[in-house]
C-alpha cells in the first residue's frame, strides 16, 4: 500500500533527504500512520530512524531554517522539533531484550522491525517509509491495516509480553476502544483480565491521562464497560466499581447505579465536550453505596448522597492527581446540587426556590440543568415526559427570575463593610448574622433586591439583636 498522497507536507521530503545523507533509513511510525489511515487529523509525527534520532533532528532543523529549536532528551535518545504547528519527534530504532536475572530491559540500537515489535497495538505499529527506493510504502508486519478495517485492538506480540513491558497499555486498550469505537480482540482482552492488577505499579498521572481521553470519547460507556469486564475498574476507580450491583430485600431492588451512571455519562457526552461536566456525570451518584438504606415503609433510599458525594469528589480528585482547583469545585457544586432541579420540579415551583437555586448554582446553572436532564434514565416513558415537561417550566422560570433579579453572580446590595460602618463594628459574629438575614430575606422574596429595602431591613435586624446605629 502506498501512502505517498499523504506525504505532501515538505517536511517528509526534508527528513528523507537528510536521512539519505546520513546513510540511515527513516520511517514515520505509530499514531500518525494510524490517524492518516483513519482520516483523523494528527499534529504529532514520530520518526524512527535506524541510527541517531538526535543527529537527524539537528540536520533537519538546520535545513528548515535558523530559528528552529531542537529539544534534545539525551537520556531517551530522542529529539523534538516544532514546525508549522506540528510536533515532530525523532528517535533511534530500539530493541529491548530481557535477561533471566533482571526485570530491567537491556535497550540497544535496533532495526525498524525491532522497534515495531515493542509497540503496543497492531494499529499503532505501522510505519511508512521515507526512503528513496520505496518512499511512502506501508510497512505493516502485524496486519494493523486489516485490524483498523475490522475495528480491532490487538497486541503485536503475545499480549502478556506487551502488557508486561508497560502495564499502562491495558488502559490504552480500553481508551482506544472507546475513542475509536473498536473491539478488543479476545486474547488481548483475556490478558487484561489476567494482568489488570499490575496497573498498580503505573503512575497515577499516566493512568489519569488515559482516563481523561476515555472520558472524552463519543461514548465513554464503551470504555467503562471494558474496564468493568476486565477488572480495571476495581483497580483504577474502586468508587465507581462500588456502584455495581442490585441488592434485593423482600423482592424490592434498586437500580444498578453503575449502569445508570454510565448511561448518564453518555447522555451528557452527546451534548457537551466539557470534560469536567462529564466527570460530574461520572461522580454524581458516587456516594450512593455509602448511604444506601432499606426500610419497609420507604423501600430503598440514598439520603444525603449528594452531600457526601461532594466531599468524596475532593478525595477522588486528590487520589487520581486531578487538579484541586476551580475545576474540582465546579464538579463538587454539580454533584451537590444535582437533585435540586428535579426536587424543584416535583413541588410547586416557587419564585423563592428558583432564586435560591440560581444563587447557589451561579454560572453552573446551565450545566446543572443539562446534567439533571441527562439523569432521567427511567424506562417509564410517561415519567420521562412528565419530568422533562417540569424541567421546561424550571428553565422558563429560571430565565424569567434571572432577567428580573440578576442572581447568577449576585452579591446582596448591603455588604459586610456597610454593616460594620453603619453600626461602628469590628468584624464579629453579629455582622455575619445580619448579612445572612439580608441575603435570606431577598432570596425568600420578603424584600426586594435593592439597596433601600436591604438597608431598612438591616436596621430592623440590628435592633432585634440589640445593636445600635452609629450617630
Sign (positive or negative) of CA dihedral 454, 460, 466, 469: positive
User: If you write DSSP's letter for every residue of 238-249 in order, what string do you get?
Assistant: HHHHTT----EE
Contact (CB, 8 A) for 317 and 408 = no
Measure the CA–CA gap between 363 and 342, rounded to whole angstroms.
19
Task: Based on the shown chain and the rule CB under 6 A, indicate whether residue 113 belongs to the binding site for ligand CTP.
Answer: no
Closest distance of CB 169 from ligand CTP, Å = 5
Phi, psi dihedrals of residue 3, rounded to the nearest 5°: -115, 15
CA 100 vs CA 77, 104, 161, 320: distances in Å = 26, 10, 14, 34
Q: Which residue is nearest to ligand CTP (CB)?
A: 31
Spatial neighbors of 93 by CB under 8 A, at least 6 apart, are 48, 49, 50, 109, 110, 111, 112, 114, 115
* Residue 108 interacting with ligand CTP (CB under 6 A): no
In 207-361, the DSSP E strands lie at 248-249, 252-253, 293-295, 299-301
Dist. CA 420–CA 119, nearest whole Å: 68
Which residue matches cell numbers 424490592? 252
DSSP annotation of 196: G
Residue 94 in contact with ligand CTP, rule: CB under 6 A: no
DSSP code at position 21: H
Q: Which is nearer to ligand CTP, 42 or 274 (CB)?
A: 42
Tell whether residue 140 is a contact of ligand CTP (CB under 6 A). Answer: no
Contact region for ligand CTP (CB under 6 A) — 163-171, 279-287, 299-307, 444-452? 163-171
- Residues whose CB falls within 8 Å of the CB of residue 444, separated by 6 or more in sequence, listed in order: 352, 355
**124 contacts ligand CTP (rule: CB under 6 A):** yes
Q: Does 168 bind ligand CTP (CB under 6 A)?
A: yes
Of 166 and 229, nearer to ligand CTP (C-beta) is 166
Among 87, 114, 160, 166, binds ligand CTP (CB under 6 A): 166
Eight-class DSSP state of 30 = T
CB of residue 374 to ligand CTP, shortest distance in Å: 26
CB of 168 to ligand CTP, least distance (A): 5
Q: How far is the CB of 125 from ligand CTP (least distance, A)?
A: 6
Is 158 a residue that touches ligand CTP (CB under 6 A)? no
Contact letters for ligand CTP, residues 12-41 (x by CB under 6 A): ------------------xx----------
Judged by CB under 6 A, the stretch of 75-83, 165-173, 379-387, 392-400 that binds ligand CTP is 165-173
Name the pairing type of β-strands 44-49 and 299-301.
Answer: unpaired
Q: Which residue number, 212 or 352, has a Cβ lying nearer to ligand CTP?
A: 212
Minimum CB distance to ligand CTP smaller for 18 or for 120: 120
**Which one among 83, 119, 260, 435 touches ligand CTP, defined by CB under 6 A?**
119
Cα angle for residues 255, 256, 257 (degrees, 5° grid) = 100
Cα 127 from Cα 129, distance rounded (Å): 7
For ligand CTP, the closer of residues 159 and 289 by Cβ is 159
Does residue 169 bind ligand CTP (CB under 6 A)? yes
Closer CB to ligand CTP, 44 or 205, in the complex: 44
C-alpha cell at 388: 422533562
Bridge partners (DSSP) listed for residue 107: 96
For ligand CTP, how many residues bind (rule: CB under 6 A)? Answer: 12
223 near ligand CTP, rule: CB under 6 A: no
Q: Check: CB of residue 176 under 8 Å from CB of residue 210.
A: no
Q: Identify which of residues 169 and 254 has a Cβ nearer to ligand CTP in the complex.
A: 169
From the list 1, 9, 40, 44, which residue makes contact with ligand CTP (rule: CB under 6 A)? 44
Q: Look up residue 77 and give its three cell numbers.
A: 535518545
For residue 30, the minimal CB distance to ligand CTP (Å) is 3
| 120 forms part of the interface with ligand CTP (CB under 6 A) | yes
- Write out the residues near ligand CTP by the rule CB under 6 A: 30-31, 44, 46, 119-120, 124-125, 166, 168-169, 172
Amino acid at each position: 500500500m502506498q501512502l505517498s498522497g499523504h506525504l505532501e507536507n515538505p517536511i517528509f521530503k526534508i527528513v528523507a533527504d537528510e536521512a539519505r545523507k546520513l546513510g540511515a533509513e527513516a520511517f514515520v511510525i505509530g499514531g500518525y500512520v494510524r490517524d492518516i489511515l483513519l482520516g483523523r487529523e494528527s499534529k504529532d509525527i514520530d520518526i524512527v530512524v535506524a541510527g541517531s534520532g538526535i543527529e537527524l533532528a539537528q540536520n533537519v532543523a538546520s535545513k528548515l531554517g535558523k530559528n528552529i529549536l531542537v529539544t534534545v532528551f539525551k537520556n531517551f535518545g530522542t529529539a523534538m522539533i516544532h514546525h508549522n504547528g506540528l510536533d515532530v519527534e525523532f528517535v533511534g530504532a530500539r530493541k529491548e531484550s530481557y535477561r533471566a536475572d533482571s526485570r530491567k530491559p537491556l535497550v540497544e540500537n535496533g532495526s525498524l522491525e525491532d522497534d515495531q515489535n515493542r509497540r503496543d497495538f497492531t494499529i499503532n505499529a505501522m510505519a511508512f517509509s521515507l526512503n528513496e527506493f520505496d518512499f511512502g510504502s506501508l510497512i505493516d508486519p502485524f496486519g494493523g491495516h486489516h485490524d483498523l478495517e475490522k475495528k480491532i485492538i490487538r497486541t503485536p506480540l503475545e499480549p502478556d509480553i506487551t502488557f508486561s513491558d508497560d502495564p499502562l497499555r491495558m488502559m490504552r486498550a480500553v481508551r482506544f476502544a472507546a475513542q475509536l469505537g473498536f473491539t478488543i480482540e479476545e486474547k488481548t482482552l483475556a490478558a487484561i483480565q489476567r494482568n489488570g492488577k499490575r496497573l498498580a505499579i503505573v503512575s497515577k498521572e499516566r493512568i489519569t491521562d488515559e482516563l481523561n481521553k476515555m472520558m472524552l470519547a463519543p461514548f465513554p460507556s464503551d470504555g467503562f464497560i471494558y474496564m468493568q469486564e476486565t477488572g480495571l475498574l476495581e483497580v483504577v476507580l474502586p468508587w465507581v466499581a462500588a456502584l455495581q450491583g442490585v441488592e434485593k430485600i423482600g423482592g424490592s431492588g434498586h437500580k444498578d447505579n453503575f449502569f445508570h451512571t454510565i448511561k448518564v455519562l453518555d447522555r451528557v457526552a452527546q451534548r457537551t465536550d466539557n470534560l469536567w461536566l462529564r466527570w460530574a456525570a461520572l461522580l454524581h451518584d458516587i456516594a450512593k453505596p455509602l448511604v444506601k438504606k432499606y426500610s419497609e415503609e420507604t423501600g430503598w433510599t440514598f439520603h444525603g448522597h449528594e452531600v457526601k458525594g461532594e466531599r468524596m469528589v475532593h478525595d477522588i480528585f486528590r487520589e487520581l492527581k486531578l487538579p484541586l482547583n476551580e475545576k474540582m469545585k465546579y464538579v463538587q457544586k454539580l454533584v451537590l446540587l444535582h437533585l435540586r432541579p428535579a426536587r424543584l420540579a416535583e413541588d410547586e415551583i416557587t419564585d423563592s426556590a428558583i432564586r435560591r437555586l440560581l444563587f447557589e448554582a451561579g454560572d453552573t446553572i446551565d450545566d446543572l440543568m443539562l446534567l439533571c436532564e441527562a439523569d432521567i434514565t427511567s424506562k417509564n416513558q410517561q415519567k420521562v415526559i412528565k419530568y422533562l415537561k417540569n424541567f421546561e417550566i424550571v428553565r422558563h422560570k429560571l430565565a424569567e427570575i434571572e432577567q428580573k433579579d440578576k442572581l447568577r453572580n449576585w452579591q446582596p446590595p448591603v455588604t459586610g463593610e456597610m454593616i460594620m460602618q453603619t453600626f461602628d463594628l469590628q468584624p464579629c459574629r453579629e455582622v455575619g448574622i445580619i448579612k445572612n438575614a439580608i441575603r435570606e430575606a431577598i432570596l425568600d422574596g420578603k424584600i426586594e433586591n435593592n439597596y433601600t429595602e436591604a438597608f431598612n431591613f438591616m436596621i430592623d435586624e440590628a435592633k432585634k439583636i440589640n445593636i445600635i446605629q452609629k450617630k
